[in-house]
Structure formats: structure tokens, C-alpha cells
């Protein structure tokens, strides 16, 4: 067979470049265009270049690799359940890429890869948990993100916590919880199967600031006790006499109140995603509970009893975030429990000064007040824990310990005053 083949070239009118090659003995096809000419290759490896036909070396098929039409070798492997593709014009380079990939895999994943997978779990958690954990995930990625998780040692984590020593105890504790979750994700994942969790042996720095459990002003408590019948007064009144979380109270329906047996059954919680009310289960399993209705509250609720399926606050649907804030602020403003301040906002490119009212009492403060009432009434810690809905017994114990310390300080002052007066 002759190594030279005669081909007819049909030129476009007015064009000096070949447009089409009439196939003669072999099936020619265009591989790539270049300026002013076409590079043509046939199955026998012949090429047409600049008007001359000559032989080129045909690439060999390599066992286990696919030779693509563009002349690139490709090998696909399934590694840890994922399909990974390696390609190059040089088959030796493909094998090198595969070897390098396995070396990197043995080093383990980057911290940010594991953190992002843990983030997928957090996205399925309650909105309140997401608000606490997601900033912690982002902070951890900013510090450890580009490191291999296997190369992060206990000392690195300890120094990370030390850098947060100016933060509150709850902030650092949440950060540790998130880091622990990330390492546990690495250990439990079928792809990575990590073998250690250095977070578990790290202690938080000493001396972290703890937020005082601030009680509402005594005057505010007196006003709330006397304002159940006032506009929007039932909301703070029920918080004070039940110790419920704000979301638990907003999720309460008339059907959850057992007037006969004097019980309130807490089964749902409302959080606000933006302004929208989202109905969910209580914060913890301990949050699903029944609590007693004290007589002052029962006397107020009995004449107000509505349809079982209606929410006590909101009717057919729970209050939105804006509705709650407006009602709370309106009540506090009407009873001199809010502080007036000025705020500058922009509307239609103009700066406008508006009046803002900030309540001096919060829903969570009333929950603390209820804990104090139980302590003063002699309710034991375990029963108080059940009523208040704490999952961790130590939380209630810490509250009672703090209250006992306050009582001791008060007793000390009273004794000092007594003996000082006696000495005179």
C-alpha cells in the first residue's frame, strides 16, 4: 500500500484555506483548526498539513486506560465511594497522578472538608442551635481550615482556646462543642475513619467570664403581678408564674392546659427565622414536660379559655417575631419599664432620627425569677429541674448554689447590722 494518498480539496469561493477533504481510501476527520490551514488525521495516523500528506506516529492503547478521541489518556477509579478521573497525554503522567492522589489521601482530609460535612449535620438541627454553632464552625475554619485534620494536635487546640480567653464561658464552651463535633464526624465517617479526637482531652482556660443570672428589677416584678388584665400583660404574667421559655409559651395552645388537673403540658417551641414563626419541639427532651398551674395563674386563665387548637398568643397561628417584639415593648413602655433612646436611620437617602424604646426586663429574666421563687418556696433541686425543663441537673444545681450564696451574703449583712446596733 502506498504511503502517499492523493486527496481532492474543495476550496470555498474566495477563500484560500481548505474547507473540506473528500474521503478517498480512508475516513478522514478534522481534529483542530489552525490559522490558514486544517490539521487532518485519519485512522491510519496520516495527517494533512499545509498541502502535504505525511505519516504520524499513532498512539498505542494502554491496558486499563481509555484513549480519548482528543488523544488524551484517561483512567477512572472509585476511591472511597467516589469516582475520580486522572488524565494526561502521557500515560506515565497518569500513573504519577494516581500515585500522588493516594499519597494525599493517606494524609487525610483537610480540616475544612470535615468541618463542612459537620455543617451539613448542623443545618438539620434546631434554628437556635444553628445560630450558636455556625459562627463557631466559621471561626474554626478560619484558623485550621487549610491544615490536615490529622496534623492538628492538642497543643494547637489548647492555644486556640487560650486566644479566646477574653470571651465568655458560654462562647468558648460552644466552640469546644463544635470542634468536638467536627472530630467526631471525622471518626464516624465511612470515608475517612479517623482514629483520635484530641478535643476530648482539652480543658477550657481558667477564669473565663460567666454571665451573671440577672434578675428583673423588684419594681418590674410587682408591676407584672398586678398587670395580667392590662393590654399585652398576660404574656409577662405567664412567664413569671410558669418559668417557661419564651418559645415554649408562644407555642402554647389552649388545649395544652388541663384546667381540671391544674397542669400545663409543654409539647412545642416557637423560634423565629427572620420574622417567620417556626414551630418545633422544645429545646431538649427534658423540655417536653408538664408543669403545675399556680392559683394566681389559674384564676386569670379560666375566664379567658379559648378554642383548644388556638394559640394563647396569636390565635390560629403563633406570633411572628415583629408581633412579639411590638407587644413586649408596648407593655413595658406603658408601665415605665422601657428606656427611651434616639436612633438615626436612612430612608430614601435621608437621615431621620427616631425614638426607640428598650425594655429593661426580658423574658429570660422572668424565668430566672421563677427559679428564685421555687428556691424560696423550698422546692428541691430535682423537682425544680423537672418544672423548669433543664436537661442537665448541674444547671439547676448551679442556680440553687448561686442563690444560697446570695442568701448567705444577705444573712451576713443582717447579722452585722444586728450586732452593730446591739453594740451601740
| In the chain, % of residues over pLDDT 90 | 49
pLDDT at 424: 61
| Rounded Cα gap, residues 198 and 156, in angstroms | 10
| In the chain, % of residues over pLDDT 70 | 84
Q: Where are the domains of the chain?
A: 66-101, 111-188, 218-364, 381-422
Model confidence at 422, pLDDT cuts 50, 70, 90, reads low
Using alpha carbons, select from 199, 127, 187 the residue that is nearest to residue 161: 199
- What integer best gives the mean pLDDT of the chain? 83
CB atoms within 10 A of CB 380: 11
Can you tell me whether residue 17 is helix, strand or coil?
Answer: coil
pLDDT at 23: 39
Model confidence at 10, pLDDT cuts 50, 70, 90, reads very low
Q: Give 18 or 140, the one with higher predicted confidence.
A: 140
When the candidates are 1.10.287, 1.10.940, 1.10.3470, 1.10.443, the CATH number that belongs to 218-364 is 1.10.443
Assess whether pLDDT exceeds 60 at residue 31: no
Q: Tens digits of per-residue pLDDT, 81-126?
A: 678 888 888 888 888 888 877 777 777 899 999 999 999 999 998 8
pLDDT at 352: 87
| Rounded Cα gap, residues 129 and 25, in angstroms | 72
Assess whether pLDDT exceeds 80 at residue 325: yes
Cell, residue 36: 490558514
pLDDT at 92: 84
pLDDT at 4: 43
Can you tell me whether residue 319 is helix, strand or coil?
Answer: coil
Assess whether pLDDT exceeds 70 at residue 250: yes
pLDDT at 57: 59
pLDDT at 58: 66
Q: Give 16 or 260, the one with higher predicted confidence.
A: 260
In Å, what is the CA distance from 87 to each residue of 32, 64, 233? Answer: 20, 12, 71
pLDDT at 62: 82
pTM listed for this prediction: 0.64
Assess whether pLDDT exceeds 80 at residue 148: yes
The pLDDT of 14-23, averaged and rounded, is 42
Amino acid at each position: 500500500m502506498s504511503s502517499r494518498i492523493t486527496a481532492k480539496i474543495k476550496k470555498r469561493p474566495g477563500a484560500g484555506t481548505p474547507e473540506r477533504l473528500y474521503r478517498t481510501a480512508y475516513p478522514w476527520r478534522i481534529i483542530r483548526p489552525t490559522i490558514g490551514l486544517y490539521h487532518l488525521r485519519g485512522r491510519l495516523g496520516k495527517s494533512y498539513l499545509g498541502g502535504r500528506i505525511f505519516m504520524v506516529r499513532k498512539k498505542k492503547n494502554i491496558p486499563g486506560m481509555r484513549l480519548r478521541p482528543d488523544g488524551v489518556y484517561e483512567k477512572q477509579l472509585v476511591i472511597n465511594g467516589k469516582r475520580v478521573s486522572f488524565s494526561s497525554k502521557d500515560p506515565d503522567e497518569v500513573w504519577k497522578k494516581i500515585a500522588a492522589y493516594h499519597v494525599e489521601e493517606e494524609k487525610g482530609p483537610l480540616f475544612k472538608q470535615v468541618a463542612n460535612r459537620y455543617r451539613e449535620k448542623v443545618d438539620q438541627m434546631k434554628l437556635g442551635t444553628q445560630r450558636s454553632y455556625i459562627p463557631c464552625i466559621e471561626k474554626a475554619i478560619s484558623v485550621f481550615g487549610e491544615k490536615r485534620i490529622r496534623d492538628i494536635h492538642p497543643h494547637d487546640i489548647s492555644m486556640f482556646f487560650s486566644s479566646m480567653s477574653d470571651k465568655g464561658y458560654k462562647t468558648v464552651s460552644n466552640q469546644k462543642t463544635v470542634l468536638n463535633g467536627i472530630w467526631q464526624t471525622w471518626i464516624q465517617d465511612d470515608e475517612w475513619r479517623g482514629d483520635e479526637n484530641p478535643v476530648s482531652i482539652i480543658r477550657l482556660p481558667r477564669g473565663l467570664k460567666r454571665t451573671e443570672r440577672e434578675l428583673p428589677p423588684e419594681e418590674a416584678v410587682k408591676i407584672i403581678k398586678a398587670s395580667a388584665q392590662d393590654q399585652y400583660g398576660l404574656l409577662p404574667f405567664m412567664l413569671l408564674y410558669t418559668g417557661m421559655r419564651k418559645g415554649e409559651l408562644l407555642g402554647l395552645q389552649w388545649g395544652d392546659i388541663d384546667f381540671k388537673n391544674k397542669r400545663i403540658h409543654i409539647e412545642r417551641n416557637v423560634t423565629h427565622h427572620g420574622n417567620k414563626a417556626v414551630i418545633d419541639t422544645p429545646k431538649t427532651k427534658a423540655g417536653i414536660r408538664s408543669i403545675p398551674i399556680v392559683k394566681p395563674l389559674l384564676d386569670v386563665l379560666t375566664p379567658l379559655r379559648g378554642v383548644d387548637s388556638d394559640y394563647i398568643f396569636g390565635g390560629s397561628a403563633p406570633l411572628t417575631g415583629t408581633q412579639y417584639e411590638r407587644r413586649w415593648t408596648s407593655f413595658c413602655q406603658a408601665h415605665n419599664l422601657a428606656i427611651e433612646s434616639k436612633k438615626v436611620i436612612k430612608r430614601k437617602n435621608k437621615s431621620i432620627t427616631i425614638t426607640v424604646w428598650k425594655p429593661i426586663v426580658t423574658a429570660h429574666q422572668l424565668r430566672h425569677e421563677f427559679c428564685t421563687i421555687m428556691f424560696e418556696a423550698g422546692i428541691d433541686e430535682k423537682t425544680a429541674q423537672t418544672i423548669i425543663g433543664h436537661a442537665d441537673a448541674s444547671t439547676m444545681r448551679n442556680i440553687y448554689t448561686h442563690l444560697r450564696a446570695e442568701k448567705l451574703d444577705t444573712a451576713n449583712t443582717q447579722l452585722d447590722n444586728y450586732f452593730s446596733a446591739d453594740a451601740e
